């Protein structure tokens, strides 16, 4: 009765009554992504029970988790695979606004947030759960010598340019291709090595490439469907960098293979002379960019041309890349489809040929997911491997700088440039040496075992399941590698714990700014996300960190059985962009949940992971296969990804939107 009285005294009561049936049938579910809140339908029956008091506010019993040592990880385990509820309607436009208003109201919003957490199993699987593990707040991994095969050791004190050269020495010899050779029947993107050879031979100059890059970006912005690749780029600055690089080549003194190569940077990473917006219209006003992030400085020291700040989902809070402030980044393979988020622009510029590589930030699949949807390589190293200095502190313990590249070789070169010793204030336990995979070796690595959890692997569209299964079979057959069937328990619990963690860290990081912020400056989907993020409390955060420790132990036991975990990268291919979402964003739980299904362990547990394009669906949209490795196993992951790429690359297709920057005309 008290709730009913307070409800009717609310100044919004007329609006709430008008939409009570809608509220009784629709609530929103969290998308396990760094980043989004999406919709879940609950029954009118349960809503009425809640408002009539028959559903007690404190009756959400929690799971009692058994000790890790009692869990059967074998293929015949009785551990239950819990699928996400997929009965939610997609919402955009006016409905998103209405729901944001309800969530932001003091009384009805509190009730709705309780329903959200209860019906999405936050209470059962995390908040009220009983776990015997101690909390683990940062996924730092002690260094263990993995005795990796076919690697070259590089001193951790080597300069970025020296590391790039050593990485180039690890690449296979390839037939040189002239920049005028456009008659090849198979499609491939220009690589960093192609740029370097073309510049050194004088076939083309960095200045000419920069001019063609600027023209291409202008063209992409004027298209019937603007591609919205960039939030910010400065033609004058790009030409200045390119002119300096051209002069170095004319003197015969390029800094490295990266000299003159265009590299784009996600607008979550500091990069002068641009503001760091995080996809917002306001964040750069309260957090000015005062210089380059460490990773950007290292790229500059190798001579790379930094060509601007790529578009992203606002605050990284979504899977689609739809940004109401800077436009929706579109998929080069089909401009009516999403590019994925939140590193949408970085994936799209690589896919479209504007850059051979770009930097992103991966907090919940934000590099690997758009890479897969756009048909490129997405690589996320072990937590702590790449300096995080100069990256927006939206999520301290799950976010990592990652690399998007047209080929695995280019991912290795950029990885070589930006890895190495970290600033002293960053927590990590780096290995004593950097190890680069010898991709030019005639002796492929042997005895690789892939852990495959069948129910999880197959929880995707039929086209993805068949394509990824065939690719894995081909890989194992060609290299005599093996697949080990396993069970990975409590995947849904880990997803919710990760979501709770990234949401708590985001709101804590932005708390002082949000107190003064006019919420009208936020996109509507971001408003919903932040309202739900702010509903988590300290007890729930600590429970989530207990789950992190628990899953660390479970995955350690899985890695005792196999070298790598394999799964599709996403559960669906890129889906359609609708006009009603362009100005508000959208809440799409069905697609969002499918996109992030295979991403979480890489971020929550700090594990390295890589996605490789392995095929296309019936619409010609790319499909990716993902490999998740042991901590510090980047060389093994790269060997495997390179082997997979070698088997698929002859079948790669040219995107509908593609720019040939090395063409002299």
Catalytic residues: 266, 342, 366
- Angle between helix 160-169 and 408-418 (nearest 10): 150
Q: How far apart are CA 128 and CA 60, in angstroms?
A: 7
423: number of CA atoms within 13 Å, CB side?
11
Strands (E), 406-538: 433-437, 449-452, 482-485
The residues with which 27 forms a beta bridge, in sequence order, are 40
What is the SS3 assignment for 664?
Answer: coil
Which residues are within 8 A (CB) of 560 and not within 5 positions of it... i.e. 6 or more apart? none
In contact, 272 and 390? CB cutoff 8 Å: no
Return the biggest CA–CA distance within the chain: 83
Spatial distance between the Cα atoms of 4 and 16, rounded to a whole number of angstroms = 12
Write out the two tokens for 353. 């040929």
DSSP state of 592: H
Alpha-carbon distances, residue 586 vs 200, 318, 344 (angstroms): 47, 9, 15
- In this structure, are residues 190 and 181 in contact, taking their beta carbons and an 8 Å threshold? no
DSSP secondary-structure letter at 76? T
How many residues appear in the chain?
A: 665
CA angle 467, 469, 473 (to 5 degrees): 115
Residue 253: count of CB within 10 angstroms of its CB? 9
C-beta separation of 537 from 426 below 8 A = no
330-331 and 334-338 strand pairing:
antiparallel
Angle formed by the axes of helices 462-479 and 634-648, nearest 10°: 100
Q: Where are the beta strands (DSSP E) in 594-653?
A: 609-616, 622-629
If one counts every other C-beta atom within 10 angstroms of the C-beta of residue 284, the result is: 17
Measure the CA–CA gap between 218 and 345, rounded to whole angstroms.
15
Residue 47 DSSP SS3: helix
Dihedral sign for Cα 168, 172, 173, 178, please: negative
**Residue at token pair 């591609």:** 227
Angle at 548 between CA 510 and CA 598, to 5 degrees: 85
Neighbouring CB atoms inside 10 A of 558's CB total: 21
253: closest CA among 262, 245, 265, 241? 245
Give the separation between CA 499 and CA 507, rounded to whole angstroms.
12
Q: Are 414 and 610 in contact (CB under 8 A)?
A: no
Instruction: Report the distance separating Cα 664 and Cα 204, nearest Å.
Output: 6
Q: Buried b / exposed e across 492-512, counting CB within 10 Å, b at 16+?
A: bbbbbbbbbbbbbbbbbbbee
């Amino acid at each position: 009765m008290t709730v009913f009285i307070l409800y009717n005294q609310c100044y919004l009561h007329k609006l709430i009554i008008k939409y009570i049936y809608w509220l009784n049938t629709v609530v929103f579910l969290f998308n396990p992504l760094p980043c989004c809140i999406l919709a879940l339908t609950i029954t009118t029956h349960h809503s009425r029970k809640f408002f009539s008091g028959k559903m007690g506010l404190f009756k959400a019993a929690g799971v009692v988790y058994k000790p890790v040592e009692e869990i059967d990880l074998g293929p015949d385990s009785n551990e239950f695979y819990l699928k996400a509820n997929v009965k939610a309607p997609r919402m955009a436009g006016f409905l998103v606004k209405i729901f944001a208003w309800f969530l932001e109201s003091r009384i009805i919003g509190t009730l709705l947030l309780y329903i959200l957490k209860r019906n999405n199993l936050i209470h059962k699987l995390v908040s009220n759960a009983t776990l015997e593990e101690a909390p683990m707040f940062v996924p730092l991994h002690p260094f263990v010598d993995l005795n990796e095969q076919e690697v070259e050791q590089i001193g951790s004190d080597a300069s970025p340019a020296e590391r790039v050269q050593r990485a180039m020495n690890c690449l296979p010899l390839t037939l040189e291709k002239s920049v005028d050779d456009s008659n090849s029947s198979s499609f491939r993107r220009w690589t960093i090595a192609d740029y370097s050879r073309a510049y050194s031979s004088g076939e083309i100059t960095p200045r000419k490439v920069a001019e063609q890059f600027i023209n291409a970006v202008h063209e992409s912005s004027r298209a019937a469907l603007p591609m919205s690749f960039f939030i910010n780029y400065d033609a004058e600055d790009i030409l200045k960098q390119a002119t300096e690089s051209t002069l170095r080549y004319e003197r015969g003194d390029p800094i490295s293979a990266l000299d003159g190569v265009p590299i784009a940077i996600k607008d979550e990473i500091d990069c002068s002379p641009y503001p760091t917006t995080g996809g917002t219209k306001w964040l750069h006003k309260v957090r000015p960019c005062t210089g380059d992030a460490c990773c950007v400085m290292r790229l500059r020291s190798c001579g790379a041309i930094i060509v601007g700040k790529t578009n992203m989902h606002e605050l990284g809070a979504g899977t689609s890349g739809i940004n109401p402030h800077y436009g929706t980044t579109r998929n080069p393979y089909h401009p009516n489809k999403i590019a994925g988020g939140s590193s949408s622009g970085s994936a799209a510029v690589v896919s479209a040929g504007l850059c051979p590589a770009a930097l992103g930030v991966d907090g919940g699949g934000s590099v690997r997911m758009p890479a897969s949807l756009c048909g490129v390589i997405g690589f996320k190293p072990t937590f702590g491997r790449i300096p995080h200095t100069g990256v927006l502190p939206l999520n301290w313990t799950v976010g990592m700088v990652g690399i998007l590249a047209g080929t695995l070789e280019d991912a290795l070169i950029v990885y070589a440039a930006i890895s190495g010793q970290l600033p002293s204030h960053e927590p990590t336990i780096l290995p004593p040496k950097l190890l680069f995979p010898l991709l030019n070796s005639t002796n492929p690595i042997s005895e690789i075992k892939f852990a495959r959890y069948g129910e999880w692997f197959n929880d995707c569209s039929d086209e993805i399941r068949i394509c990824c299964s065939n690719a894995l079979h081909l890989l194992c057959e060609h290299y005599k590698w093996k697949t080990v069937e396993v069970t990975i328990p409590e995947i849904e619990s880990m997803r919710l714990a990760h979501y709770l963690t990234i949401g708590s860290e985001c709101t804590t990081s932005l708390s002082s700014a949000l107190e003064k912020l006019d919420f009208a400056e936020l996109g509507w989907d971001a408003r919903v996300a932040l309202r739900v993020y702010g509903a988590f409390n300290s007890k729930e955060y600590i429970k989530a960190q207990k789950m992190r420790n628990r899953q660390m132990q479970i995955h350690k036991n899985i890695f005792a059985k196999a070298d790598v975990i394999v799964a599709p990268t996403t559960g669906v291919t890129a889906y359609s962009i609708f006009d009603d979402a362009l100005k508000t964003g959208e809440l799409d739980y069905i697609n969002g949940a499918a996109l992030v299904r295979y991403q979480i362990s890489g971020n929550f547990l700090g594990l390295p992971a890589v996605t490789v394009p392995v095929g296309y669906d019936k619409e010609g949209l790319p499909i990716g296969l993902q490999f998740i490795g042991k901590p510090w196993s980047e060389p093994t992951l790269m060997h495997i990804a390179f082997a997979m790429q070698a088997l698929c690359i002859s079948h790669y297709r040219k995107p509908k939107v593609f720019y040939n920057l090395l063409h002299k005309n």
